[in-house]
Amino acid sequence: MHYTGRALRVGDHIDTDAIIPARYLVTSDPAELGAKCMSGLEEGWVDQVRPDDILVGGVNFGCGSSREHAPIAILGAGIKVVVAASFARIFYRNAFNVGLPLLEIGEDVNDIRHDHRLDVDTESGIIRNLTTGRTYTCPPLPSSIRDIISAGGLEGYVRQKVAERG
Amino acid sequence: MAFTLAQKLLARHARDIASDADLAPGRIVTCALSLTLVNDITGPLCISSMKAMGVDRVFDRTKTVFVMDHFTPQKDIASAEQVMISRRFAEEQNLAHYYEGGDAGVEHALLPEQGLVGPGDLVIGADSHTCTYGGVGAFATGMGSADVAAGMALGETWFRVPESIRVEFTGTLPEYLGGKDLILWLIGQIGVDGARYKALEFGGSAIDALPVDGRMTIANMAIEAGGKCGLFAADAATLAYCKNAGRSGDTPISADPGAVYEQTLVCDVSTLEPQVACPHIPSNVKPVSAVKDVTINQVIIGSCTNGRISDMRAAASVLKGRTVKKGLRCIVLPATPAVWKQALREGLVETFLEAGCVMGPASCGPCLGGHLGILGGGERAVSTTNRNFRGRMGSLDSEVYLAGPAVAAASAVTGVITDPGTL
């Protein structure tokens, strides 16, 4: 998939309590969760999100709890892709499972400023910074994640496996 | 090849390995699961994922565990209705292990106590603190609801074989210190992403001498260093713990001599002071003497980190014959019904009540800012829980200091963060 949009910059160690505080975990609805996205970072944070925005974090993005509500809240806020220096492991699996692609680019992320325009290609893992002209590359995804993506997500992947078993 | 504990445990369950090389760090392996777990927050998402996967039966009704522990006793209409979704599913599936109400406790204290996890097991749970079971020699890790749904459907999941960091605790633990101080010290050293994607493996003479409760406290917070799991060898103490929990047939398990570690850290605990993690990140760790006069409004003693009977004893020994500072609320939540009963039998509950503590139910409640002890703007807590992210326990303008039960109890007495040794 291909995404072009503005970089919405957040910092290091953005935890799942910041992404979606626990008191909102009484629903699984993406729109309801999306309306509170990042409210643990700043009340009303979501109001600045514009269509096509690309969320850009620092190191260890998504650390903390296993709540899948976190990537669902990001999707619910209208953000379709996240770029960061690194991701916490549970969040990493969760995001791909719910259809939120992530690109891990290490220190290169420091080059990306709020409002830079980015062009992200998830298949090649190449990100072009249209503001500075620089290019960043995300290393290839683990084979297990690629299998899930090619099955159209985890749900399709499990359906396929169940069918194989008869 | 000499294997780390992580490799050895994964090898026991791996379905697709042809040679030792397939267990090299970074490789992806598919493993059969011993147990899958969700709670009242992650259960409903897991159930809807399973439905979307077209799966109508769990892989094994005896290996699927639902524990209603976060927003329970049901704190409001929405959380009551979330529990109803899980309860209905458990009935439909005839699950052997559905816990609610008087059967329920904080999941990661409850499962080992009920004998549902033990040495050599491979467990995934839709709760990040599932890593607690490393304390009894299980490879256990948190995943999201969809991953656990897939595990409940297929009885297997994929793992990236982790690199391992070996942590050796040597020497003798001073009075008032426990597992919490050791894991806080470690997180202070390596940071909240120091073990990201990796396994932490603990050993050394101080660990050999540490009761299983304390090992579970350490394993519990492996995730706070970004770790996939926190592992302990299963030794005589583990086997005795598991036998007492009603299990049989468990055997010792340990890493192979000569296993390769990415890094080894050694700490002599003999001179360690009680440790405190300051706001707003679990790696902001200081010895208690460096934060001693910080005033507080609330103390929480409980949770999957420090809600076991040994934690109740540690807190009660400090509170015995003393009183909670006027105007401060000290809330004690024994983590399971069995811990509650034992604390009652030993007179600990009386000690807490005499001191002026509030006794709460076996619930996660305040740890994640759910209920039963929320902080208002400007308020500050000392808590035996595991996370102190901004706003974790209530207002974005509140603060949480993480500590062990003895420091928490001493601080409840004075109203400022206190080293119990100075009382």
- pLDDT tens-digit readout, A71-105: 999 999 999 999 999 999 999 999 999 999 999 99
**Is B369 in contact with A21 (Cβ distance < 8 A)?**
yes
**Cα B41 to Cα B46: distance, rounded to the nearest angstrom:** 10
B41 touches chain A (CB under 8 A): yes
Cβ atoms of residues B241 and B210 within 8 Å? no
How buried is B345 (Cβ within 10 angstroms: 0-12 exposed, 13-18 middle, 19+ buried)?
Answer: exposed
Q: Residue B257, Cβ neighbours under 10 Å: how many? A: 6
**Cα A23 to Cα A38: distance, rounded to the nearest angstrom:** 13
Looking at this protein, which amino acid is placed at residue B364?
C
Please report, for residues B123, B179, B227, the alpha-carbon distance to residue B285 in angstroms, rounded to integers and kept in the order given: 30, 15, 18
Please report, for residues B36, B188, B246, the alpha-carbon distance to residue B116 in angstroms, rounded to integers and kept in the order given: 11, 32, 9
**Cα B247 to Cα B252: distance, rounded to the nearest angstrom:** 14
List the structure tokens of B14. 């791996």
How long a stretch of residues is chain B? Answer: 423
Nearest to B377 by CA among B401, B389, B400, B395: B395
**Cα B37 to Cα B18: distance, rounded to the nearest angstrom:** 29
Cβ atoms of residues A18 and A38 within 8 Å? yes
DSSP code for B151? H
* B 205-224 residues inside an 8 A Cβ radius of A: 223
Please report, for residues A17, A56, B109, B222, B226, the alpha-carbon distance to residue A64 in angstroms, rounded to integers and kept in the order given: 7, 18, 19, 11, 8
**Cα A2 to Cα A144: distance, rounded to the nearest angstrom:** 21
The pLDDT assigned to B158 comes to 97
**Is B146 in contact with A89 (Cβ distance < 8 A)?**
no
Distance, first Cα to last Cα, chain B: 52
Return averaged pLDDT per consecutive 10 residues of chain B, 423 residues in all.
97 94 96 98 98 96 98 98 98 98 98 98 98 98 98 97 98 98 98 98 98 98 98 98 98 98 98 98 98 97 98 98 98 98 98 98 98 98 98 97 98 98 97
Helix extents (H) in B53-144: 77-92, 107-113
C-alpha A70, offset from chain centre = 9
- Return the number of CB contacts < 8 Å for A and B: 138
Q: How many CA atoms lie within 13 A of B368 on its CB side?
A: 29
**Which phi and psi angles does B106 have, rounded to 5°?**
-65, 120
**Is A13 in contact with B193 (Cβ distance < 8 A)?**
yes
A151 touches chain B (CB under 8 A): no
The pLDDT assigned to B194 comes to 98
**Which phi and psi angles does B119 have, rounded to 5°?**
-55, 135
List the structure tokens of B32. 């059969």
For residue B375, list its beta bridge partners.
B394
Low-confidence ranges of chain A (pLDDT < 70): none
**Cα B398 to Cα B402: distance, rounded to the nearest angstrom:** 13
**Is A142 in contact with B28 (Cβ distance < 8 A)?**
yes
**Is A13 in contact with B78 (Cβ distance < 8 A)?**
no
The pLDDT assigned to A1 comes to 87
A43, A89, A92, A107: which to substitute to probe chain B, counting the most B Cβ within 10 Å?
Answer: A89
Please tell me whether the peptide bond between A13 and the residue prior to it is cis, using omega within 30 degrees of 0: no
**Cα B266 to Cα B276: distance, rounded to the nearest angstrom:** 20
The pLDDT assigned to B159 comes to 97
**Which phi and psi angles does B286 have, rounded to 5°?**
-135, 155
**Is B143 in contact with A143 (Cβ distance < 8 A)?**
no
**Is B193 in contact with A63 (Cβ distance < 8 A)?**
yes
**Is B150 in contact with A64 (Cβ distance < 8 A)?**
no
List the structure tokens of A123. 């298949």
* Chain B: residue whose CA lies nearest to A15: B389
The pLDDT assigned to A166 comes to 72
For residue A56, list its beta bridge partners.
A9, A83
Residues of B in contact with A15 (CB under 8 A): 387, 389
List the structure tokens of B117. 């996890």
DSSP chain A: -EEEEEEEE--SS-BHHHHS-GGGTT---HHHHHTTTTTTTSTTGGGG--TT-EEEE-TTBTBS---THHHHHHHHTT---EEES-B-HHHHHHHHHHT--EEE-GGGGGG--TT-EEEEETTTTEEEETTT--EEEPPPPPHHHHHHHHTTSHHHHHHHHHHHH-
**Cα B51 to Cα B337: distance, rounded to the nearest angstrom:** 33
B39, B160, B283: which to substitute to probe chain A, counting the most A Cβ within 10 Å?
Answer: B160
